[in-house]
Structure 1
Amino acid sequence: MTTLGTASAAPGEIDIGRLPVGEARDGSEIGLPVAVINGRHEGKTLYIQAVSDGDELNGLGVIRRFVPQLDPEELAGTILIVGIANYYGFLVAEHRNPIDDTKLNRTFPGNPSGTASERISAAIFDAVKRADLALDLHQGSTSCMINETRVRCGSRHRLHHDCLELAKVFGCGYILDLKGPDGQLARAAPDKGIPTVDPELGGAVGWDETSIQKGVKGVFNVLYHYGFLDGEITTTTQTRASSFEQYGSPSGGLVSFEVGLGDEVERGDTLFEVTDPFGTVKAKVTADSNGIFWRHRRLPQVATGEYVCSVGTSIDRV
């Protein structure tokens, strides 16, 4: 029998339940929605979570698509799933946990006696430590972004090769290989010997079907490659960026982009123009380096200095 919170599944079974993480302001118990998929055959354990940021829903879209496709009778090993990690943020469609105004994915491995976010992270991390591999499904918040997978442990980490391999297997086509901030799950879990990546499945307000389908394919790639299901995949060469350049607006106005997501840019290429409401060009912003146009804001209106876009740099193929 394998359990996660109140979910309990014998070999060949699936069960859903709740993982207690504390109490709400009215004293009622708060539990994260969880699932245990216990394969009929012995094998590895995979941990998957979504909605670490409360407005990033594509990962949840992935979970609700791939779980009904699984037959535990055909599965080797176990899948532990936390469907909604930032439960408080999800309820109000906010990026941060509104209870403590904290970004949940900066609090791992957590503290069972700490803030609301630290307690959630601690409960989650207890499940992560039982796994051989972990996927933390994200998206580019509500910005427009390419589909990519992030390796956050740093190139000198002892598990860097394993995390990079996991990212390649997931197969978004683009990889950001850049050490992440302290407190990220994809930073903390490799320190415990668990290869972990966070696929960034595009960016959207609500669902983005193309990114969700890419995420479903990525999860099944992992299941096939690591022996959870019978089958093979062919890993292809992917584009890796090892750094970012971010661009703000030199003036207020309306942004028009001159390049599209995924386009290669060269130093000096125009990335965007800023106009006044009547179309008069106030500024042109060009690329400082060669790279890939990686992410841009969704709305056209900007103030002076406001974030506009990002270019992935230090590009190679892996």
Structure 2
Amino acid sequence: MTTLGTASAGPGEMDTGRLEVGETRDGTTVGLPCAVIEGASDGETLYLQAASDGDELNGVGVVSRVVPRLDPAELSGTVLVVGIVNYHAFQVAEHRNPIDDTKMNRAYPGDDGGTSSERIAATTFDAATRADLILDLHQGSTSQMIDEVRVRCGRRHRLHDECLELAKTFGCGYVLDQKGPEGQLARAGPDEGIPTIDPELGGCVGWDDDSIEAGVTGVFNVLRGYGFLPGSPGQEPQTRAKGFDQYGSPAGGLVRFEADLGDRVSAGDRLFEVTTPFGERKARVTANNDGVFWRTRRLPQVATGEYVCSVGTNVDAY
């Protein structure tokens, strides 16, 4: 019998429930939606979570499509799922937890006696570290971004190769292999000896069906590639970037992009221009280095110095 919060399942069973993480301001218990899928056969454990940033909903879309398709009778091992991590931010469609103004994916491994976000991080980290593999589903917030997977432990970490292999198995086509900030689950998990990746499934307001389907395919690639389900993942070579060049606007006005997401760009290629409301060009920005056009702001209006786009750099294939 495997239990997560109030969800409990024996071999060949599935159950859903709530994982208690505290109380709201009126004293109501906060419970994160969770699920246990216990395979009919023995095997490893996969932990899957979504929406640690409250406006990143594509991961929730993935969970809502993956869980109904999991047949415990066909599964070897166990899948633990927390469908919505940042409960308070999700309720108000915000990125950060409004209770303590914290970005949840900077709070791991958490503190069970700390702030709201630290307590949620501690509870979900306790669940995650019961597993052999961790998938932490994200998206590029409300920016526009390619579907990619992030390996955040750093290339000198003892688990780097295992995390990179997990990213390749997930198979979005693009991988950012760059050490992440302190407090990310994709950094804290490997420190506990658990391969962990951070799929960033596009970027949008609400959710995007194409990116959700890329995430669904990725989860099932992992389930097949690591023996939870029969079959083999459809692995293809991945494009890996080891860094980012970020570009701000040299002037205020309206942005017109001259490259599309996923385009290969060379140093000196035009990325965007800034115009007046009457179409008069005020500035043009070119790439500093070769790379892949990775991410852009969503709204066209910018102030001087405001973020506009990112190019993935130091690119190779593996």
Separation in 1, partners of 2:179, 2:187: 8
Q: Match for 2:161: what amino acid?
A: H
**Is 1:279 equivalent to 2:253 in the alignment?**
no
1:119 aligns to what SS in structure 2?
helix
Aligned equivalent of 2:307? 307
Separation in 2, partners of 1:217, 1:179: 25
The CA deviation string for residues 260-296 of structure 1, in whole angstroms up to 9 with x for no partner, is 0000111111100000000000000010111000000
CA drift of 1:100 comes to 0.2
Gap runs ≥5 in structure 1: none
**Is 1:266 equivalent to 2:273 in the alignment?**
no
Cα RMSD (Å) of the superposition? Answer: 0.5
Aligned equivalent of 1:188? 188
Aligned equivalent of 2:243? 243
Aligned equivalent of 2:216? 216
Contact 2:265 2:293 (C-alpha < 8 Å) held by counterparts: yes
Separation in 1, partners of 2:284, 2:64: 43
**Is 1:50 equivalent to 2:50 in the alignment?**
yes
Separation in 2, partners of 1:119, 1:238: 36
**Is 1:131 equivalent to 2:102 in the alignment?**
no
2:198 aligns to what SS in structure 1?
strand
**Normalising to structure 2: TM-score of the pair?**
0.99
Contact 2:150 2:167 (C-alpha < 8 Å) held by counterparts: yes
Aligned equivalent of 1:225? 225
2:42 aligns to what SS in structure 1?
strand
2:80 aligns to what SS in structure 1?
strand
Q: Match for 2:248: what amino acid?
A: G
Q: Tell me the number of residue pairs that the alignment of Structure 1 and Structure 2 aligns.
A: 318
Q: Match for 2:56: what amino acid?
A: E
Separation in 2, partners of 1:39, 1:111: 31
Contact 2:36 2:78 (C-alpha < 8 Å) held by counterparts: yes
- The worse-fitting range, judged by mean Cα deviation, of 205-214 and 227-236 is 227-236
Aligned equivalent of 2:147? 147
Separation in 2, partners of 1:84, 1:130: 18
CA drift of 1:233 comes to 2.1
Separation in 2, partners of 1:288, 1:232: 40
- Structure 1 segments, 4+ long, off by >4 Å, are none
Aligned equivalent of 1:94? 94
Separation in 1, partners of 2:96, 2:189: 21
2:136 aligns to what SS in structure 1?
strand
Q: Match for 1:241: what amino acid?
A: A
**Normalising to structure 1: TM-score of the pair?**
0.99
Separation in 2, partners of 1:233, 1:221: 4
Aligned equivalent of 2:109? 109
CA drift of 1:234 comes to 3.8
